[in-house]
Amino acid sequence: MGGTSMDNQVYTPLAVASLSHHDASATDLEEARFPDERAFLSSAREHFRGVLLLQTCNRVEVLVQGTQGALSDFLTSLGRREFRILEGVEVLRHLLDLAAGIDSMIVGEDQIIGQMKTALALAKEAGVSSNLVEICVEKAIHVGIQVRRRTNINRGAVSIGSAAVQLAENLLGGLGEKHILVIGSGEMGMLVAQALSARGLSAIYVANRTYERAVALAEKIGGRAVNLKDLYHYIQLSDVVISCTSAPHPIIHREPLREAMKERRWPLDQRPRPIIIIDIAQPRDVEEGVSSVDGVSVFSIDDLRVVSENNLAERRAEAERARAFIGEELEQFISLVNRIAADDTLSLLYTWAEAIRIRERDRAIHRLSGDDPRVREVIDDLTRVMVKKLLSDATLSIRGCAERGEIQAAEGMVRAITQGDGRCLREGGKEGTDGAP
């Protein structure tokens, strides 16, 4: 995509800090994560009108209604300097690429849509979202869904979970008759298990901290649920272990694994039978140093990049079609955001009008010398309707200017209307804004 012209600018502060698989390793991403998401959102809310935090296995994104400088300063105060920070139109473009799956490690993967919805739901629940942030994320999600309907970008697309299965298959030359242990029964565990169920395996074991959830997943794929307390016993029985829990700390440790590996040696063998462990959790499930255990080969999200590159090569043409569609949608996105920016300008106009309405309503009621609630109600309704009708054309024109990026013209129109009664403007804050659109 080319640069942005002066006519295509966003006139409200909007910024995003991004760190992803493009510019960071799995270790870097782990260190950049915010372990307590609610605490982070609460802290950020003190600095920005709206905040959203999106954290997946291969990215950390912070979207704010605020300036690039303010976001940079905030992250720096938390000791985070590794983020790439975008502002204005580039934020909108990034959100569209993100939702479309173009920016994903596995191009076209569908999980990002659900992850964005979950992040928005958390922001709303924590009370840190804003109208602008919600509209931006919802618009991006809508475009992401449309991209998948209009192109084949996700045809045959693999998730991180199924990419892990493909990696194991490549390493072993096939998974037929193999024993596989899946640790974790969340969304990623489900994706891994589904990818495995079609491979003709001898056994699929499913372990999870909550045994009932392991049972539910195992029943869906014809596997066997196991207790997490028996983890090392089933590691000992497996050819491949794929771990994808949401635990905040490692669950596979070096020394217990070393003991378990002793049982994978036949009496005349000098070394234990090899085992592959693929860790796609974030933060990582496998303790540092596990790869030093004899017979153990550990792979991480970073090792899935080869699968990603093959995936991209197969769908490059579809990705280009998606980018063309996103380019068309970007223009509408800019207009939408600028229209929202006009609301601040319009609130000034309606504050001014509401101050006049209340003043003249009260004068009329006083002149009638009536305490009849019905009379007061009729006059109040009449003045509300009149203000709304008198300002309707001006409202449309102001919003139209904002959508076209002519924010100064929109502000000029408001000044032209309101400058004749500055006193009402000054009093408006005291009278309220019941007439605001």
What is the residue whose two structure tokens read 């043409």?
317
Q: E strands of 104-222, at which residues?
A: 179-183, 203-208
Write the CA distances from 244 to 126, 301, 327, integer angstroms.
26, 11, 35
Cβ-contact 213, 230 below 8 angstroms: no
Omega before 283 within 30 of 0, i.e. cis:
yes
Cβ-contact 296, 277 below 8 angstroms: yes
- Catalytic residue selected from 57, 136, 244, 401: 57
- Cα-trace Rg, the chain: 29
What is the residue whose two structure tokens read 């056994």?
203
Identify the DSSP state of 207: E
Largest alpha-carbon pair distance within the chain?
A: 109
For residue 143, the tally of other CB atoms under 10 A from its CB is 22
- Please say if 57 is a catalytic residue: yes
d(CA 37, CA 178): 38
- Count of alpha carbons within 13 angstroms of residue 329, beta-carbon side: 24
DSSP 276-288: EEEE--SS-SBPT
The residues that are catalytic are 57
